[in-house]
């Protein structure tokens, strides 16, 4: 067990310097909200002792490249700005946070999520009722429905979520884990030549693939044509610059990314197939076993996840997404 180092002022300055070196002054990347977040983090670090982390938060790293289990916080009533800033700092460092022994309701789940930004409503409504902020994922035989493939959430929207906060309400007796992978690690593991190629590319993301998988499995989904009209294809960089850390991450996934802009169909298919396989490497991953008192907070800008479809009993998961910004690529 060790104390949270977070991202101290020195590391924040390094990240901002990296952005400037790429022609991205931090203020030009976004809005006042980002500046406010950086200031909030700095204030939290000012209050933290130099030999430890902020406000008593502690972590246990899950793997070399992604994930940490957080202890020392009760999310149901948490509103202290120092603690919220420390959690954000831990998310930026570890990309996926696992909180055990939490007693949350749908209302407290939403309330905690709001500390990190505006809630992004599910782009495709479900028929489960309840608070509109919660996307209910209710499955019994999930094979082939899309979650059992490496993906980031809602990349077919112009502004994908910055993060998703997940908790399971009902579990099968065995199985139903979720694996998470670092897209920082996936990018950094590429050869310099492939990194350079990907840095200059954009990709098309389309909702159609995700929806047709659900329809093929017999799910009742609103008219596909209406969904496609509401959510037309969008372009995002193949490699994005994380708006808060300045690190580069791969940003393509098999569920939503359909082609690479400016390449022939054969070239696009070949490179995407390679990238889709590349992100699956175990070295990039951590795996989380659920219980009904666990909440997972993932940074959707730099991770992908995979819901292991090894069960045939009912599993109910609630997801709350926090609104993000339009992804920004590398200026080459």
Q: How many angstroms separate the CA atoms of 108 and 274, rounded?
A: 41
CB 244 within 8 A of CB 34: yes
Kind of pairing, strands 96-99 and 68-71? parallel
Catalytic residues: 151, 153, 305, 319
φ, ψ of residue 270 to 5 degrees: the values are: -65, -45
Q: How many angstroms separate the CA atoms of 73 and 190, rounded?
A: 37
The 8-class DSSP code of residue 204 comes to E
Q: How many angstroms separate the CA atoms of 80 and 83, rounded?
A: 5
In a 13 Å sphere around the CA of 27, the CA atoms on its Cβ side amount to 1
Radius of gyration of the chain from its Cα atoms, rounded to whole angstroms = 19
Q: Which of 124, 145, 143, 137 is nearest to 170 (CA)?
A: 137
3-state helix, strand, coil split of the chain in percent (to 5) is 35, 25, 45
Place of tokens 């889709």: 276
CB 109 within 8 A of CB 141: no
**Burial code of 116-152, b = ≥16 C-beta within 10 A, e = fewer?**
bbebbebbbebeeeeeebbbbbebeebeebbbbbbbb
Q: Work out the angle between the directed axes of helices 32-47 and 81-94 (0-180°, nearest 10).
A: 100
């Amino acid at each position: 067990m060790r104390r949270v180092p977070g991202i101290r002022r020195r590391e924040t300055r390094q990240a901002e310097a990296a952005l400037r070196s790429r022609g991205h002054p931090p203020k030009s990347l976004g809005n006042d909200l980002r500046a406010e977040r950086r200031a909030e983090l700095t204030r939290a670090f000012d209050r933290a002792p130099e030999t430890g982390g902020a406000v008593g938060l502690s972590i246990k790293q899950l793997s070399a490249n992604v994930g940490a289990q957080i202890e020392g916080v009760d999310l149901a009533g948490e509103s202290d700005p120092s603690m919220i800033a420390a959690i954000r700092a831990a998310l930026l460092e570890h990309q996926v946070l696992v909180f055990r022994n939490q007693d949350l309701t749908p209302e407290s789940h939403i309330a905690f999520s709001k500390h990190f930004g505006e809630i992004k409503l599910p782009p495709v409504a479900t028929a489960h009722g309840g608070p509109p902020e919660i996307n209910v994922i209710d499955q019994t035989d999930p094979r082939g429905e899309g979650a059992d493939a490496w993906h980031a959430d809602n990349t077919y929207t112009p502004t994908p979520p910055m993060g998703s906060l997940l908790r399971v309400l009902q579990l099968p007796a065995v199985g139903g884990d979720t694996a998470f992978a670092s897209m920082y690690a996936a990018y950094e593991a590429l050869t310099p030549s492939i990194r350079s190629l990907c840095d200059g590319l954009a990709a098309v993301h389309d909702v159609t693939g995700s929806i047709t998988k659900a329809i093929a499995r017999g799910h009742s989904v609103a008219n596909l044509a209406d969904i496609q009209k509401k959510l037309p294809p969008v372009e995002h960089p193949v490699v994005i610059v994380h708006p808060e850390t300045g690190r580069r991450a791969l940003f393509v996934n098999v569920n939503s990314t359909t082609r690479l802009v400016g390449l022939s169909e054969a070239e696009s298919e070949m490179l995407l197939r390679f990238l889709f396989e590349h992100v699956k490497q175990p070295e990039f991953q951590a795996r989380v076993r659920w219980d009904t008192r666990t909440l997972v907070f993932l940074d959707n800008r730099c991770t992908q996840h995979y819901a292991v479809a090894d069960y045939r009993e009912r599993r109910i998961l609630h997801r709350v997404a926090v609104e993000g910004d339009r992804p920004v690529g590398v200026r080459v």
